[in-house]
Structures are given as C-alpha cells and as structure tokens.
Structure 1
Amino acid sequence: MKTLLPTSTAGSLPKPSWLAQPETLWSPWKLQGEELIVGKQDALRLSLQEQQQAGIDIVSDGEQTRQHFVTTFIEHLSGVDFENRQTVRIRNRYDASVPTIVGPVSRQKPVFVEDAKFSRQQTTQPIKWALPGPMTMIDTLYDDHYKSREKLAWEFAKILNQEAKELEAAGVDIIQFDEPAFNVFFDDVNDWGIACLERAIEGLKCETAVHICYGYGIKANTDWKKTLGSEWRQYEEIFPKLQQSNIDIISLECHNSRVPIELLELIRGKKVMVGAIDVATNTIETPEEVAETLRKALQFVDADKLYPCTNCGMAPLSRQVANGKLRALAAGAQIVRDELLAIGGH
C-alpha cells in the first residue's frame, strides 16, 4: 500500500555541532582524516533517525557528508582547479570565489555512492538523494576551457548520469537534481537546460525529481526575493516544457512565497513536491498552516501525485528549529491525509 501524501525534505539538514559549525552554510569540518569519515557516518545515522522520528516518509542523507550542494560534487572531478579561484556572480545575485575549469571534466570515481550504500543499510524507508543539476553546476564555476555554458553543461550531464546510475544500483529510490538556476536563466532552460537534465537521467529506472527553488534563507537570496514584486511567476517560463519532459517529480517553493498557486496547473500530470515549510525563518509552522498550503495545492495537483516537502534545504537553521519544522510537515500532511481518506469513504 503506497503512502498517500508521502513527506520528504528538499535536501540539506543541520549538521551536529561536533561535525561542523552550526547555523552556517559551507561550514568547514571540525574533524579530519579517519575521524571525519566516522563522524560523517554518525551524522548520517543521526539524521536518518531524526527524520524517521519526525514522521518523514521519504528520507535523505540530509547532505551530512558534503559541505556544499554543488562544489562537493565538483571537487571529485578532474579538469577542475580548486587552487586557481575566480570570483563570479552566482545566479546574478551574489559574488563567490569559485574553482576554475582548466581541462576536460571527467569523473574518476563515484562521489556519493558509498554514502548511499551506508544510508541504505540504516533504513528500510524510501531514500531520496540530491545531486546538483548541470545548469546550477556551470553557474558555480569559472570556465577557462570549454568557453561555452552549454557545452560544459552537456559534459556535466554525462557525469551526473554515471553517478545517478550507481546511486540507483546502491538502492536509492528517488534521485533529485537541484536546479535553482532554472528560476533565473529561462531562455537557457528552455533551449538546452531541460534537455541536459534529461541526459542526466537517461536509462534510470528509479524515480527522478528536479528541485527548483528561490534558495536558502540567506541574505543574498532574501534581498533578491524582495525585488521580485508581489507575484513570483518565474516558474511560468519553464513549467510548460518541464511538463513535457521525462522528469517524474517537480519540487518547488510554495509556503510563504509569492508563487501564485495556480501555476501548478502548468505541470498537471507530474508528481509535485510542494514546499510547505519556509526555510527562511526560524518560526516553526503549525500543522494547520502546512495543511492549508497542501489544500491549496490539491486544487491543481491530484492527491496521488502530491508530495509534501520543504521549500529548500535547512542547513542554515538550528537543529531544534529544523526538527520542529519536520514534525509540523508530517503532522500537517497527516491532517490532509485524514481529510482525503474521509472523503474517499475508506
């Protein structure tokens, strides 16, 4: 029996304070060598347990073993020079010091596969694993080799496909590609971004998802959001083509965002991870607030295709707040689940 309205998170969860500095993005590790390897596994185990206790149905690694959702993957590739850094504008919002592409990019060995195998041993629940999407990867680099965003994106799509196939073999149930860049570079998304994503999922039998959001609750993102006006219609530009794509699930930001909920009609037929938890505030939602967001979404998403989720990752939040939010998500989903089952007359 498949769970109705299965809950999950968009990706990152806070790391324990003994592993990395709390409430900080891209925080350096506090352990090293063998201790770091064991520490990451302990954090993984803990994160899975906390998600399960909170009532999350589809669990994730909480990104406990990676510092950053994009660069940790890139660090493992050849053709990238991390010593030779350049400052680039990320998603047209903020400057960051990033590595340089100095030659052909390739993947010498699996990046997250051991972590995925370890996670699989710890739980019987469905596991979702996040990878950076090709367009967001090229937006987090300085390219001194291909000199073409599109060419580099296709190379990354091939590499991501290799990793995704091995994650699937390790027992991952859903592979999610994080593409916040999809809310910025609309023409590129429609011209080649979605096609690149389809290259990344080629041949996969497990479910696939794309997570498109307005970013973590960091100042650069919240300032940018203030400039977007009363309605955030960015999704409108890319949803028609995504609706036609081979991606199974689309994950987006709904609660406390200014996204008009009726935009969901544009992806009717797809499964939708509806962000019902705001990650840009320490205020913990009530189960009723979560339920209200889900009820609105149900006007445009069939009940068997709605997956309650968080807006984005929660790495910058405290563990206490993140846990409270996970519990609220599970409780809110349960309210709506009960309502749906009552209507169904079961």
Structure 2
Amino acid sequence: MKTLLPTSTAGSLPKPSWLAEPETLWSPWKLEGDTLAEGKQDALRASLHEQQLAGIDIVSDGEQTRQHFVTTFIEHLSGVDFEHRKTVKIRDRYDASVPTVVGPVARQKPVFVEDARFLRQQTDQPIKWALPGPMTMIDTLYDDHYKSREKLAWEFAKILNQEARELEAAGVDIIQFDEPAFNVFFEEVNDWGIAALERAIEGLKCETVVHICYGYGIKANTDWKKTLGSEWRQYEEVFPRLQQSSIDMISLECHNSRVPIELLELIRGKKVMVGAIDVATNTIETPEEVADTLRAALQYVDADKLYPCTNCGMAPLSRAVARAKLQALSAGAQIVRQELLSR
C-alpha cells in the first residue's frame, strides 16, 4: 500500500565532522584517496540511518559524497577548465569564482551511478537522487566556448539525461533536478529552460522532480530574500508552463517563506513536494507547525499528490539541528496523515 504524505528531504544533509568542515558549503574533504572513498560511504550510511531513525519515507544519500550540488557534477565533465576561473554573479545575487567552459562539454563516464548503486544496496525504501538542472549548471560557469546560455543548457541536458538513465538503471526511484535558477531568469525558463529540463528527463520511467527554492540559508540568499517584499510571487512566472510540462513533481519552499500558498493552484494536478521545514534557521519546527503548512497546502494539492519535504538542502546546519528538523517533519506529516485517514 502506498504511503500517504511520504516524507523526504530536498537534498543535502550535514556531513560528519571527520569527513568535512561542519556547517560550511564547499567544505574541503578532511580525508584523501581510498580513505576518502571509504569515508564517503560511511557518511552515506550514517546519513541514511539518521533519515530512517527520523521516519523519513523516501530516503537519499544526503549528498554525502559530493562537495557541492552543482560543481561536483561539473568537475567530472570534459570541456570545463577549473584552473582558469572567472568571477560571475550567481543567480544575479552574489559574486563567485567559477570554472570556464573552454570546449565542447561531455561526460566521459558516470558521475554518481556507483554511489547510487551503493545506496540502493543499503535499503529497500524508495530512494531519490538529486542532479543539478541545466539552467542552474550554466549559471555556475563562465562560458568561453558556446557563447550562448541556451546552447550550453541543451548540451548539459543531454549529459544529464545520460546520467539520469543510468541512475534509473541503478535502482533510483525518483530523480530530482535542482533548478533554483528558475526563480530568477523567468523569460529564459519559459523560452527554453523547461524545454531543456524535459530533454534531461527524456525516456525516463522513474519519477522526476524539479526543485525550485530560494536557496540555502546562507547570507547572500537571506539578504536577497529581504529585497523581495511582503509577497514572493516568483513561482507565478514559471508554474503555468511547468504545469503543462512532462515533469512529474514540483518541489518548492513554503514554511516561513512569503510565497502565497494559493500559487499552488497553478500546478494543480502535479505531485508537489511541499517545503515544510525552514533550512535558513536553527529553530526547530514543532510537529504542529509542520502540520499547519501541510494543511494549508492541502487546499490546493490533492492528498495523494502531497509530499512533505524540507525547503532546501541542510548542508550548512549542524547535524543535531538537521536531525531534529527531520523528526519534526515526520511527526507533522503523521499528524495530518491521521487526520486524513480518520475522515
């Protein structure tokens, strides 16, 4: 029997302090060589165990084997030079030193497939794997070759499709594409961004998700949010076209955000991963707060299509805070599940 309101995380979970610097994005590894490979697997097991103890239904690797949700994938591609870096504005928000595209981009070999296979061996639960979306990938690079955001996005879409097909074959049940850039470049999203995403999921039989959030709880993002006014209506620009797309599920930020909940009406019919945990604060939600967010979403999302989730990844948080937040997510979902089943 299918679980009602199955819980999951949007992506990253904190890494153990013996593997990488805690509460830091892009934290360098503390191990190397074979010890690092073993350490990553141990961290993946620990992350999985914490999700299971918290009662999470759809589990992930917690992104334990990668330093960053976009860059780690790009590091494995040819045509990108990590030595020659340029400073660009990421998502029109903050400056970052990024690698340069110097030639045709290509995937020489699978990037995450072995890790996914390893996760699959550890559990019988449904597993979800996150990949960067094409538009967010191009936003994290300086392009000195294609000279066209759209052309580069299509190349990345083809590469992502190769990886996604192999992840599916390795036993992944849900593949998520992280596209925070969809909250910024609205014209491009509607012109070719969603089409590029559809190219990335071509031929997949597993479920597919696009995750669109307002970013990790880092200063550049929280500062940006302060400029967005009393209502965040960014989703309004892209939801109508996403509702028509072939992507199965849409993951979004709800709790403690100023997103008007009625915008969910625009994606009626899609499965929705509702962010009910704020990743930009160390305050632990109560189960009742989580339940309130889910009840509000249920006005616009059918119960069998609602997937309680975190707003974004939790890599910058401490393990104790992340653990407590996962427990709150589970407990809050259980409250609403009981209400629905007793009707």
TM-score normalised by structure 1 residue count:
0.99
1:192 and 2:192 aligned: yes
SS of aligned partner of 1:37: helix
What's the CA shift string for 1:186-221, capped at 9, x where partnerless? 000000000000000000000000000000000000
Name the residue aligned to 1:38: 38
Q: Give distance in 1, aligned partners of 2:21 and 2:106.
A: 31
Q: Give distance in 1, aligned partners of 2:270 and 2:109.
A: 33
Name the residue aligned to 2:168: 168
Q: Give distance in 2, aligned partners of 1:40 and 1:330.
A: 26
Name the residue aligned to 1:63: 63
Q: Return the letter of the residue paired with 1:85.
A: R
SS of aligned partner of 2:342: helix
Name the residue aligned to 1:310: 310
What's the CA shift string for 1:46-81, capped at 9, x where partnerless? 100100110000001100000000000000000000
1:116 and 2:116 aligned: yes
Q: Give distance in 2, aligned partners of 1:90 and 1:47.
A: 29
The number of aligned residues is: 343
SS of aligned partner of 1:27: coil
Q: How does 1:144-163 map to 2 (within 5 A)?
A: 144-163=144-163
Deviation at 1:287, TM superposition (A): 0.1
What's the CA shift string for 1:261-295, capped at 9, x where partnerless? 00000000000000000000000000000000000
Q: Return the letter of the residue paired with 2:278.
A: D
CA RMSD of aligned residues (A): 0.2
1:4 and 2:1 aligned: no
Q: Give distance in 2, aligned partners of 1:267 and 1:321.
A: 32
Q: How does 1:262-277 map to 2 (within 5 A)?
A: 262-277=262-277
Q: Give distance in 2, aligned partners of 1:22 and 1:149.
A: 34
Deviation at 1:337, TM superposition (A): 0.0
Q: Return the letter of the residue paired with 1:197.
A: L
SS of aligned partner of 2:317: coil
Q: Return the letter of the residue paired with 2:13.
A: L
Q: How does 1:26-105 map to 2 (within 5 A)?
A: 26-105=26-105
Q: Give distance in 1, aligned partners of 2:148 and 2:286.
A: 46
What's the CA shift string for 1:88-147, capped at 9, x where partnerless? 000000000000000000000000000000000000000000000000000000000000
Name the residue aligned to 2:231: 231
Structure 2 unaligned spans of 5+ = none
Q: Give distance in 2, aligned partners of 1:2 and 1:53.
A: 20
Q: Return the letter of the residue paired with 1:219.
A: K
Q: Return the letter of the residue paired with 1:223.
A: D
Q: How does 1:212-231 map to 2 (within 5 A)?
A: 212-231=212-231
Q: Give distance in 1, aligned partners of 2:200 and 2:79.
A: 19
Q: Give distance in 2, aligned partners of 1:313 and 1:82.
A: 25
SS of aligned partner of 1:88: strand
Q: Give distance in 1, aligned partners of 2:318 and 2:192.
A: 38
Q: Give distance in 1, aligned partners of 2:283 and 2:48.
A: 23
Deviation at 1:18, TM superposition (A): 0.2
Q: Give distance in 2, aligned partners of 1:81 and 1:60.
A: 30
Structure 1 unaligned spans of 5+ = none
**Structure 1 runs, 4 residues or longer, greater than 3 Å off:** none
Q: Return the letter of the residue paired with 1:293.
A: T
SS of aligned partner of 1:315: coil
Q: Give distance in 1, aligned partners of 2:295 and 2:219.
A: 30
1:333 and 2:342 aligned: no
Q: How does 1:268-307 map to 2 (within 5 A)?
A: 268-307=268-307
Q: Return the letter of the residue paired with 2:190.
A: N
SS of aligned partner of 1:251: strand
SS of aligned partner of 2:80: strand
